[in-house]
Homo-oligomer: A and B are copies of this chain.
Amino acid sequence: MSFAEISSIGEFGLIERIRRAAPSAASLRVGIGDDCAAQAPVPAELLLTTTDMLIEEVHFRRAWTDLHRLGRKSVSVNISDIAAMGGAPKTLFLALGLPSAMTVAEVDEFAAGFLEAAAEYGAVLAGGDTCRSPGPLLICVTAQGAVPEMQLVSRAGAREGEAVYVSGTLGDSALALRMLQKGQTPCAAIAGRHHDPRARTELGRALAEGGIASAMIDVSDGLLADLGHILKASGVGALLDEESLPLSSSFREAFVADPEVLQLALSGGEDYELLFCTPPHKEGEIAALSAALSLPLTRIGEIRPPSEGFSLRHRDGSSRPVGSKGFSHFNAG
């Protein structure tokens, strides 16, 4: 570990350092260190591309996370978008804006987390950009993946009468964030969901390959907002059942102490679970998949005619229409 300032090795030294740490891949004709990465296309597979910016003090605080987990998270949140289309991740591009006080050891720590997570997902770092930032640490990751042409799952395929499912549990990440904002210390399980979320790549591929999901999205803006995106793209309505939301034991404890916490499972965001729709006759396959992946897959509602809009059935049996309740930059939600 070197604690020298980045200026001692310079921009090209830094790129060379990351290049040496990154494994190469046979699919890359040209990798890190040229004007572009060059890759041979995969025949009969669609190229998937997504990009996300993570900005210090907006998306993360360095007081709350270490750089290794931040590196991991910046990979996972991007690859989650690949999973949500049914794809397998292939390549990553990393643009970094580094504050002048950041050390080489800190960049190494971030890069180690980034490369560790990339390897877990079977993706390789293929290029990027490094520059100095006048203030916040800036991270912009672009992920590329592939999906067989007939297996692509968009947001637009949901049909009336289908069931709505979500993987894992909801609200844990938002609960951790709320506790941190209040100066409390979330337990490791909850904190891990916020600082080191896992993209559901195996599930996404299985749902696509088996023709199980008709429409899919990852829960990044919050359940209500993200289901809203599917409904809008598909031109349908939905009835969501509050009672059936999958909640972790830590989340249930917090919910018992303060019922308002339930809003975090509905609108908190950053769950990175997969939310998908499926025809009723596929529900047996979903149970088998859940067992095979040791991952809860929970039916939380159904797709309704567009005329019925989007509503939420409460625990007391009453229903109310859903507004825009997810996380959005620039407004209160």
Q: Name A's B-contacting residues (CB within 8 A).
A: 6-12, 14, 29-30, 33-43, 45-53, 55-59, 81-82, 84-85, 87, 91, 93-98, 126-136, 138, 140, 142, 144-145, 147, 149, 152, 154-156, 216-218, 233, 324, 328-331
Q: Name 8 A/B residue pairs within 8 A (Cβ), A-sorted.
A: A33-B233, A35-B85, A37-B49, A38-B152, A40-B46, A53-B97, A55-B97, A131-B329
Say yes or no: A147 contacts B38, CB within 8 Å.
yes
Chain B CB within 10 Å, residue with most, of A10, A34, A87, A147: A34
Say yes or no: A49 contacts B35, CB within 8 Å.
no
Which B residues lie within 8 Å of A233 (CB)? Answer: 33-34
The answer to whether A59 and B140 touch (CB under 8 A), given A10-B330, A11-B330, is: no
Say yes or no: A47 contacts B51, CB within 8 Å.
no
In the complex, the 3 A-B pairs of residues with the closest C-beta atoms, listed nearest first: A41-B41, A140-B140, A36-B48
Which B residues lie within 8 Å of A93 (CB)? Answer: 49-51, 142
The CA-CA distance from A330 to B42 in the complex, in Å, is 38
Say yes or no: A12 contacts B47, CB within 8 Å.
no
**Quick one: closest B residue to A91, CB to CB?**
B49
Say yes or no: A45 contacts B41, CB within 8 Å.
yes
Which B residues lie within 8 Å of A98 (CB)? Answer: 330
A285: shortest Cβ distance to chain B, in Å?
Answer: 22
The CA-CA distance from A48 to B7 in the complex, in Å, is 30
The CA-CA distance from A32 to B154 in the complex, in Å, is 12
Say yes or no: B134 contacts A134, CB within 8 Å.
no
Say yes or no: B134 contacts A58, CB within 8 Å.
yes
Say yes or no: A145 contacts B36, CB within 8 Å.
yes
Say yes or no: A138 contacts B138, CB within 8 Å.
yes
Choose among B52, B81, B97 the residue that contacts A138 (Cβ–Cβ < 8 A): B97
A20: shortest Cβ distance to chain B, in Å?
Answer: 15
Say yes or no: B134 contacts A135, CB within 8 Å.
yes
| Additional A-B contacts beyond A36-B85, A53-B131 (8; CB < 8 A) | A10-B324, A35-B216, A36-B50, A37-B49, A51-B129, A51-B142, A55-B97, A142-B142
Which B residues lie within 8 Å of A135 (CB)? Answer: 134-136
Which B residues lie within 8 Å of A43 (CB)? Answer: 41, 43
